[in-house]
Amino acid sequence: MSSSLAIQRENIRKLFPDTFKQARKSRLRGQIIFFLVLVYLIVGFFTLDVVDIPKKWKPQNAAMFVLDTYAHKDHVTMKWENHEDIKIAFEGNYRSVYGRDNLDKSIPDWFYKNSDNVGNVVEFNNKGKAILYKDKVEIVNFPKYERDFTIKLNSNGKPYLVGSEDLVIEDLKGFRITENRVEFRPTLYERIQVYPKKVEIHRYSIGWKYFWFDFSSPLEPYTFFEALGLTFSNERVVPEMSNLKLFFTEIKDNDAFMHGRVWWAMLETIVMAVLGTMFATVMALPLSFLAAYNVTPIKTLRFMLRRLFDTLRGIDFLIWSLIFLRAFGPGPFTGIFAIGFTDTGTLGKLYSEAIENTEKKQQEGVVSTGANKFLQHRFGIIPQILPIFVSQSLYYLESNTRGAVIIGAMGAGGIGLQFLGALATGNDFENVAYMAILVLAVVIFMDRLSAWLRRILIGSDQLIVR
């Protein structure tokens, strides 16, 4: 069977030698291209330092970053010189200290007096405890640890782990001991650091605390829905204003997540994208008619407009935004004009191509009625290209939303700049995550919105090219 197949194959090969030669040639070309691409990828691998990824990628940093995006922490600080003065602060912020007189903020229930009535206990979420004494810190009850530990200060005032000489490395897992510091971090969620001057404990919990109402807000004791329910009651939480007003001002002026500022910035970004796209559409519409050969007979004008479109498009919106940033200063106008100018080029080119691709027959029909030039275009061309125009503009609206975020980061303001600011502080990663999610949501929303509008306006959510 197989041998007869082979003979048949040979026969076919002999019958059509040219076809097979061609096939071998094109296969060889494909192989050469494949080989070249492979060589380039290897070159790129080394020139772009992709090999350095393991060296540059610090898992510890990344883990901390990710941890901070979804968790919050409370700092407990005790100074050795005054062991009764223990400060508990949210995220270590001096403005968010628990139990401070003027704030009527009760001490959280995971901090309490030990049963011996001497030490103070910090209980972690995994039931492990750190007990603070006048002269030592005891670490007890940690899961996966067979024994308890004690950290003391030696005669030189340096911290040390009691009995650490007798312990094997296995037992010391989670400890990091240097001359001036003993750190115990069994998992990412618990961290105990002992310094010559003080003890600092970080206690992590999952979730965005104070997302709606910040630490010092009068509405903080309530959850979001409780507070929403309060807006319907007549009893005022604070005497100065009604509950409804309080509800919104407290959310808006949230210190931690800055909803007011973030949402305003988001609005700026959306305005940049929407008005920029509108500007481009309005500019490109008449210009594209002038650049289409079936409308404009003047060749020089068409040529010049075509080159204008190329230039507007070629000067990337990056460069446009730099120029406009100098003129208008930071703000949405910069973004609107940068997007508008770039897209006038893009849309102008696409529109004029669409006009040139219209059916002649409709226009001829209008001509036959004796209509003038304007009416010919109005009834012969516009009905054909309107869906394409709408489709293209809406399609660009979505990508311009992303562009507006970028222009914002360049200095034009909006959510892009807020994002850079939050990232630059180096510890507000929950804000970074919040804004990233917000941007993602808005971009996806714009995508869906433009698809929906395309569907109801022109009956198809696919991009029409011609």
Partner 1 sequence: MTKALPANLEQIEVNLKKLTNQRTRSSLLGIAILILIFFGGTLVSLEANAGSFGRGIANFFNYPRDLFVDTFEMGWKYWPRVIKYIPELIITLNIALFSTSIGFILAIIFAIFSSRNLIRNKRVIQFTKFLMDVTRSFPTLIIAMVFLYLMGKSSLPAVIAITIHTAGALGKLFTEAIENCDGKPIEGLSSVGATWTQKIRFSVLPQVLPLFLSYGILRLEINVRESTILGFVGAGGIGEMLAALIQWNYGADVLACMFLLVGTIIALDYLSAYWRHKLIGANQ
Residue ranges that bind partner 1, judged by CB under 8 A: 37, 40-41, 44-45, 47-50, 52-53, 56-58, 61-62, 65, 264, 267-268, 271, 274-275, 278, 310-311, 313-319, 322-324, 326-334, 336, 357, 402, 405-406, 409-410, 413, 416, 419-420, 423, 426, 432, 436, 439-440, 443-444, 447, 466
Write the DSSP assignment of 271-305 as a string of letters.
HHHHHHHHHHHHHHHHHHHHT-TTT---HHHHHHH
Closest approach, Cβ 314 to partner 1, in A, equals 4
Q: Which is nearer to partner 1, 57 or 374 (CB)?
A: 57
Q: How many helices (H) and strands (E) does the chain have?
A: 15, 12
Least Cβ distance, residue 416 to partner 1 (angstroms): 7
DSSP string, 203-214: EEEES-TTSSS-
Instruction: Kindly tell me which of 138 and 268 has the beta carbon lying closer to partner 1.
Output: 268
CB of 6 to partner 1, least distance (A): 17
Nearest in space to 200 (alpha carbons), one of 93, 76, 107: 76
Whether 340 and 422 have beta carbons less than 8 Å apart is answered as: no
- The answer to whether 218 and 238 are in contact (CB under 8 A) is yes
451: CB partners within 8 A, 6+ apart: 461
Q: What's the burial of 35, exposed, middle or buried (CB within 10 Å: 0-12/13-18/19+)?
A: exposed
CB of 372 to partner 1, least distance (A): 23
In whole angstroms, the minimum distance from the beta carbon of 189 to partner 1 comes to 21
Residues 199, 230: contact at Cβ < 8 Å? no
Residue placing its CB nearer to partner 1 in the complex, 326 or 361: 326
Nearer to partner 1, 217 or 400 (CB): 400
**Exposure letters 81-96 (e unless 16+ CB within 10 A, then b):** eeeeebbbbbbbeeeb
CB of 148 to partner 1, least distance (A): 36
Task: State the minimum distance, in angstroms, from the CB of residue 140 to partner 1.
Answer: 35
Q: How far is the CB of 430 from partner 1 (least distance, A)?
A: 14
Q: Give the CA angle between residues 342, 344, 350 to the nearest 5°.
A: 110
Nearer CB in complex with partner 1: 171/447: 447
Closest residue by Cα to residue 415 from 406, 427, 423: 406
Shortest Å distance, C-beta 319 to partner 1 = 6
Residue by residue, DSSP assigns 23-92 as HHHHHHHHHHHHHHHHHHHHHHHHHTTGGGHHHH--HHHHHHHHHHHHEEEEEEEEETTEEEEEEEEETT
Residues 6+ apart with CB under 8 A from 172: 161, 164
Nearer to partner 1 by C-beta: 26 or 154? 26
Contact 77, 89 (CB under 8 A): yes
CB closer to partner 1, 14 vs 56: 56
Are the beta carbons of 192 and 183 closer than 8 angstroms? Answer: yes
Nearest approach in angstroms of CB 65 to partner 1 is 6
Separation of alpha carbons 119 and 17, rounded Å: 94
**Closest to partner 1 by CB, 371 or 436:** 436
Question: Residue 27: is it exposed, middle or buried by C-beta count within 10 angstroms (0-12/13-18/19+)?
Answer: exposed
Nearer to partner 1, 119 or 408 (CB): 408
Compare residues 61 and 117 and give the one whose CB is closer to partner 1: 61
Min dist. Cβ of residue 316 to partner 1 (A): 5
CB of 403 to partner 1, least distance (A): 8
Nearer to partner 1, 12 or 37 (CB): 37
The residue with tokens 């069994």 is 186
Whichever of 78 and 336 has its CB closer to partner 1, that residue is 336
